[in-house]
Amino acid sequence: AQSVSQHNHHVILSEAASLELGCNYSYGGTVNLFWYVQYPGQHLQLLLKYFSGDPLVKGIKGFEAEFIKSKFSFNLRKPSVQWSDTAEYFCAVIPYNAGNMLTFGGGTRLMVKP
Amino acid sequence: KAGVTQTPRYLIKTRGQQVTLSCSPISGHRSVSWYQQTPGQGLQFLFEYFSETQRNKGNFPGRFSGRQFSNSRSEMNVSTLELGDSALYLCASRSSGRTDTQYFGPGTRLTVL
């Protein structure tokens, strides 16, 4: 079965610092990749997704992620974080042709200090 | 468009009871998936329904079941509740396109005493 690892459980940054959250998955076949965000008290929301094409994907709120197939990685980046980015971030995978069965990583709690 | 709605938002039950949670997908969405979120296990897939048929099932015991109605609304049922079933249960809906986004509801917070 596939699995997803997020290396950092908690990250604390100051405003304007750059962010990179790691995500690795274990699955040998074609996968679709996602980053979701859960702001305090809010629903899970999609930040960005990768299905095919350009491995550098741009999402909402200035986030981007790069799919590196050889490293089974899909790291999330943002050049300059804001206090409003404080949230929990989840990386997720769906193997091709697995319907909607998302496998999530354990999540990374990001706190941005003003 | 209204988002995914889940009812009730909060539930308190005791061990051994059963519970039914409801999910109304976004209008036009035919796929509904259920997830369990706990501090210890994180987000885990329960099952997915598409056009009233279960398409995928996660690694949960048979006490967890679900169904989908012809209007795409879905229910999940947990029988013989255990303390470990305390969790946030999330529903997500998606339209039929493979690259379409799953939209999540606010969840039902179940507490088992």
pLDDT per position as a tens digit, B79-95: 999 999 999 999 999 98
Cβ atoms A28, A96 nearer than 8 A = no
Q: What is the 3-class SS of chain B, one letter each residue? A: CCCCEEECCEEEECCCCCEEEEEECCCCCCEEEEEEEECCCEEEEEEEEECCEEEEECCCCCCEEEEECCCCCEEEEECCCCHHHCEEEEEEEECCCCCCCCEECCCEEEEEC
Q: Out of A36, A43, A100, whose CB is closest to B33?
A: A100
Mean pLDDT, range A13-38, rounded to an integer = 94
Contacting A with CB below 8 Å, chain B residues are: 3-4, 31, 33, 35, 42-45, 48, 50, 55-56, 58, 90, 92, 94, 98-99, 101-107
The per-residue pLDDT of chain A, averaged, comes to 93
Direct distance between the N- and C-terminal alpha carbons of chain A, in angstroms, rounded to an integer: 41
Nearest chain B residue to A101, by CA: B45
Tokens of A84: 């409003």
pLDDT at B29: 92
Looking at residue A53, its amino acid is: G
The pLDDT confidence band at residue A101, using thresholds 50, 70 and 90, is confident
Are A104 and B58 inside 8 Å of each other by CB? no
* Interval A25-52 mean pLDDT: 92
Residues of chain B with pLDDT below 70 are 1, 98
- Which pLDDT score is estimated for A76? 98
Given an 8 Å threshold on Cβ–Cβ distance, is A107 in contact with B43?
yes
Q: Which of B45, B55, B101 sits opposite A46 (nearest CB)?
A: B101
Q: How confident is the model at residue A96 (pLDDT cuts 50, 70, 90)?
A: confident
Name every chain A residue with its beta carbon within 8 A of the beta carbon of B55: 99-100
What average pLDDT does this structure show over A52-76?
95
